[in-house]
Structure 1
């Protein structure tokens, strides 16, 4: 019997890789014509474009070695350099003390210091929201300067976002820790990477290599997607798969692992889940992402791999230059920038015509002093309707309802960024795949799997 995996992104292919390596028959079902998902690459006008910037780095045991083993000679070691634009200046990130002292406005720094001092006059309490978390640790002035606008741009209203997101995404909880990290000679690896790996031909090569290993023990069916999951006696017994040429049915899978969005997944079950489960899934919200690729008639533009833009005067929250990851993704005399614009599905930016949206991004790139409008040699836009899980104040309760029902199906698992509604990176995806394979290969109990799910909650984003 086959182990069927729904979704050929890095989580699904990673799980398939570990199962195939153990000699198990694996079938990966992927609706696109190539794998990778959000960790994929595509070719446009001779440029190899990633779906947003990706560095290969991890503090999780074994993941860096796995990257190296998968990529072999394709694996480049890159010394990371990124920046933050604030108050009209660019600062290295993590911040360098001397640079910060010289460039940061003294009056603004004094206001931030005074505002932080006032936090000690207030009674301490457990932060509930994103705003609570940073007001307590930084004071109102620094919060408004560094974190408030960035939250509005990426995740939405900071008064409606859980403090959990702040703890996961930004590992410096206070000005005290911020200053401490500035003055230490070397950043902690769990806070910031000094170097990272990157594939010579784009991040999609990781999933290409994973798929090659899966094919040794099974199949990767591109251009296919599940249309029905039949459950009997607490097990998935049939998977109906739709292809361009028709439908097929996989009977009696040994296990089924989904990396699909939870709302999409629940719509496949026959019989359907209870109404309260469907309603809970619908209450899980996402933010969308617009990726504006701007092709430039210059060999290079940035000194950095990416630059954060926390201030709301810029439409994008981050700008990256993939050619600084690998010179092999663009012609020698050209490069491209990627501007990331977050928002809500069907908001005014999402519905904006492509040329108008590109012009908005280019205008702000020029305003930031990164390019001149005459440098531009075309644009390309990728829209991702559900990119960032929104950790609102009710998401935990709603997610628990959905997962409890899914975990009642004996031979079924849901993992990954979409499958667990998790704010995770590529290294976490591979780690999830490995942990799932161990769960299946060692025939562990559902109680043990619940503990593993709790472990996944300990993941942190490392910049």
Structure 2
């Protein structure tokens, strides 16, 4: 949909064409509202997109759907078709000390996992009556719920690798959102009678064309009614004393201004604050202390498959460069290129880190050396490596992060025609389903 005037107005402007932004636009479209979306990249989907490379398809990390909400399941079926959803029995492991340990730990199939669980039960029995009240750190939360064995085996090194923090520097809120109310005794019960929590769930759904199927279908639905402006760099937001009304941005067509009635932001809340600082100076200082964790993915094309039996494998040991590897042909046969496999090796860092500022060739060589050094592939089997940089991949929930985030959230809430949405927009640890649920929440607020 084209706009003829530089200052043409829309009813709703959405910042970010990721899954949440597209879902909000799709819902608003049916209300007869004029909607526009600004996206800084040349593509839509954000983390919910799938790459095509050398005959392979791959996601931006390993994402899956659980459909705890059956209404959401019906909406996804209507969007992409039930035949496009694959139901998987989850296969995941943690590789530690040269062994694959089932993750979540299982009572059967692995003596090492059974021993680990036995130690965990012993830990939990000894912790009765000696728990930390209202644990604030991830360390205290894990010790409260599982004891030192699980903490040391699965969380201690892995937290340092993924988040760049010790477990006593990470907020317990991350564990509460990621693992929920799970503890050692519940884990045993769930493994015996069936999983209940997301982290221990034994089945999941996956779109046949990759997670990008969702974003592609949403974009196809809105493209004739909603103007999606790609490669649009947001420069500033402005308005009168209380209300926002104007966005200034730079696109391939040049610098443009767009008037709007309501604004939905799904972009990193720190980027939003920078754009708002020209309107209200306090936003500039309010964004300090709100942090994200960045992600490098080395996609390694290998001449044989499978390399792993699992959908994904965690690598908690710091001697190994990557933290998780997904083998995408195990998620769907249509993701594979011929007889080969594509491994997505995830390396977490910050943009100030030496690793982020290394060249693609250096990062590719690091991932290839790690795979070879562990004996998973040979140098001859590696056909090519592609490196993808994903800034703002995860909100960093360090211990005490709320003290930095909450004043910024309150300042945004004070703007009557501004709504925050999605994973980076609200600085929340959302999965794909929660992003879609959040789109519904924002839609209800707007209408």
TM-score (norm 2): 0.90
- Alpha-carbon offset, residue 373 of structure 1: 2.8
Q: Which residue of the other structure, out of 255, 262, 275, is the alignment partner of 1:255? A: 262
Instruction: Give the structure 1 partner of residue 320 of structure 2.
Output: 314
1:3 aligns with 2:3: no
SS in structure 1 of the partner of residue 411 of structure 2? helix
Structure 1, unmatched stretches of 5+, are: 442-463
Q: Deviations over 1:7-42 (max 9, x none)?
A: 101110011111113332211111222200111122
2:243 and 2:417 in contact (8 A); partners too: yes
1:9 and 1:39 in contact (8 A); partners too: yes
Instruction: Give the structure 1 partner of residue 99 of structure 2.
Output: 89
2:25 and 2:226 in contact (8 A); partners too: no
Q: Which residue of the other structure, out of 391, 394, 399, is the alignment partner of 1:388? A: 394
Aligned runs of 1:53-452 on 2, under 5 Å? 53-72=62-81, 75-79=84-88, 80-100=90-110, 102-104=111-113, 106=115, 112=120, 114-120=122-128, 122=130, 124-155=132-163, 156-171=165-180, 173-184=182-193, 186-188=194-196, 190-251=198-259, 253-269=260-276, 271-275=278-282, 277-441=283-447
Change (3 A) 1:330 1:131: same
Change (3 A) 1:181 1:69: same
SS in structure 1 of the partner of residue 364 of structure 2? helix
Paired residues in the alignment total 436
Change (3 A) 1:388 1:14: same
- Alpha-carbon offset, residue 344 of structure 1: 2.5
Counterpart-to-counterpart distance in 2, 1:132 and 1:189: 20
Q: Deviations over 1:341-367 (max 9, x none)?
A: 112223232233333322322233234
Moved more, 16-25 or 332-341: 16-25
1:117 and 1:139 in contact (8 A); partners too: no
Change (3 A) 1:182 1:368: farther
- Alpha-carbon offset, residue 117 of structure 1: 4.0
2:328 and 2:343 in contact (8 A); partners too: yes
Counterpart-to-counterpart distance in 2, 1:39 and 1:361: 23
1:47 aligns with 2:56: yes
- Alpha-carbon offset, residue 189 of structure 1: 5.7
SS in structure 2 of the partner of residue 150 of structure 1? helix
Change (3 A) 1:123 1:170: closer
Change (3 A) 1:344 1:218: closer
- Alpha-carbon offset, residue 242 of structure 1: 1.5
Change (3 A) 1:124 1:159: closer
Instruction: Give the structure 2 partner of residue 451 of structure 1.
Output: none
1:134 and 1:173 in contact (8 A); partners too: no
Structure 2, unmatched stretches of 5+, are: 1-9
Moved more, 204-213 or 307-316: 307-316
Change (3 A) 1:432 1:70: same
Counterpart-to-counterpart distance in 2, 1:224 and 1:268: 13
Counterpart-to-counterpart distance in 1, 2:45 and 2:138: 31
- Alpha-carbon offset, residue 337 of structure 1: 0.3
- Alpha-carbon offset, residue 198 of structure 1: 2.6
Moved more, 120-129 or 37-46: 120-129
